Amino acid sequence: MPGTELMQAKTNVSVKITSRSLNKAIADFKFYQNGAQKAVKDAINTSAINVQRKAKENATQRPGPKVRSGVLRSSIHAKFAGEDDYTWKVFTNVEYAMRIEFGFRDTDSRGRKYNQRAYPFLHPAAESERRSHRRRIAAALKLGKVAGVK
């Protein structure tokens, strides 16, 4: 997805929803009507909510991890991730999310050896939204562009 970044932290897995091509458009927004700005924000909001919904489905369905408590699924959220309204973050902060998303082949802090298969739930959700996201952004920019401006 344009601007989609899979970010890893020790106990945080997230996808950032934005649009690289949107960066230039944001700088040139004086050429766009206010309706286009709102339409772009709405398009990014829709993409973030769709990624959140799909990630929750992926964290629940087969082939996926065996759901024991639903904590991972219920911990997946979407929120603004910046000073502007053009960047959203879909994330989970449960301790074991990275092991589910990326798998784990190593020894843990207690000395137990693991060869745990990955069950990606967040990145595939973002990828599944890529085309729709691009279409929504393009449509929003076309709607509000002032005639005669490139």
> What are the pLDDT digits (tens) for 69-122?
889 999 999 998 877 778 889 999 998 899 899 999 999 889 999 998 999 999
pLDDT at 10 over 60: no
Instruction: Please confirm whether the linkage preceding 2 is cis (ω < 30° from 0).
Output: no
Q: Which residues face 92 on adjacent strands?
A: 13
Can you tell me which residue has the tokens 């339409």?
Answer: 39
3-state DSSP assignment of residue 73 = helix
CA–CA dist 107, 60 (Å, integer): 26
What φ, ψ does residue 111 adopt, rounded to 5°?
Answer: 90, 5
pTM: 0.76
> Is residue 98 in a domain?
yes
Could you tell me the residue range of the domain that residue 124 belongs to?
5-144
Q: Quick one: tokens of 135?
A: 């279409």
How many structural domains comprise the chain? Answer: 1
Contacts of 24 (CB under 8 A, 6+ apart): none
> Is residue 109 in a domain?
yes
From the list 102, 92, 24, the residue with the least C-alpha distance to 55 is 92
> Is residue 150 in a domain?
no
pLDDT at 1 over 60: no
Helices (H), the chain: 20-27, 34-58, 71-74, 97-102, 123-128, 130-144
> Is residue 149 in a domain?
no
